[in-house]
Amino acid sequence: MNKRIEAALNDQIQKESSSSHYYLAMASWAETKGLNGTAKFMYTHSDEERFHMLKLIKFVNERGGVAIVPAVPEPAREYDSLERVFELLLEHEVGVSESINGVVDICLQEKDYSTHNFMQWYVSEQLEEEALARSILDKLRLIGGDKGGLYLFDRDMETAAANAVKAASTAQKA
């Protein structure tokens, strides 16, 4: 495996691992605030990010590189509001997208079309992640401070988590 691509993929492994922990910290915070649906959604997405990391690790190792399992910095424990959680989440996902685009760019520079092809799954996944975060943030902004609206939002997040688990299960079997 090209060393430059291996380094870029290992950097992405670290970002996916950090993403998993980021969602996990947000899940824990939401759970302690009585937002069980949001917590379930975040726990599910933490697992999804871990899956993204594992997929990269296996790819690097199968291509003859050495995947590095990273240490990750501790994420924040407290958040100002649920809206702020999703603002931070969107910012984070945009950063992950930029990183993935950087890996794709390196693949093109190094003419590694196999890795480029592999990374297209991540490009598509990030489009979905960003769109989902924006959509959720838009809903939270519509709700404002309405507690009834927040209750319904949290319930919808639990349904979204259940749907995500079903979709992930189907995708992993394919």
Among residues 148, 161, 145, the alpha carbon closest in space to that of 83 is found at 145
Q: Is 170 exposed, middle or buried (0-12, 13-18, 19+ CB in 10 A)?
A: exposed
Burial 78-93 (b: 16+ CB within 10 A, else e): ebeebbebbbbbbebb
Q: Is 93 annotated as a binding residue?
A: yes
Residue 49 labelled as part of a binding site: yes
Distance, in Å, from the CA atom of 2 to the CA atom of 127, rounded to the nearest integer, reads: 27
The reply, when asked if residue 16 is annotated as ligand binding, is yes
Q: What share of the chain is helix, strand, coil (3-state, %, to 5)?
A: 80, 0, 20
Find out whether 52 is annotated in a ligand binding site: yes
* CA distances, 102 to each of 11, 66, 108, 111, 141 (Å): 11, 20, 10, 14, 32
> Is 92 assigned to a binding site?
no
How many Å separate Cα 80 from the centre of its chain?
21
Q: Scanning the structure block, which residue is given the tokens 């495996």?
A: 1
Task: Please give the annotated binding residues for Fe cation, written as ranges.
Answer: 16, 49, 52, 93, 126
Task: Please give the annotated binding residues, written as ranges.
Answer: 16, 49, 52, 93, 126
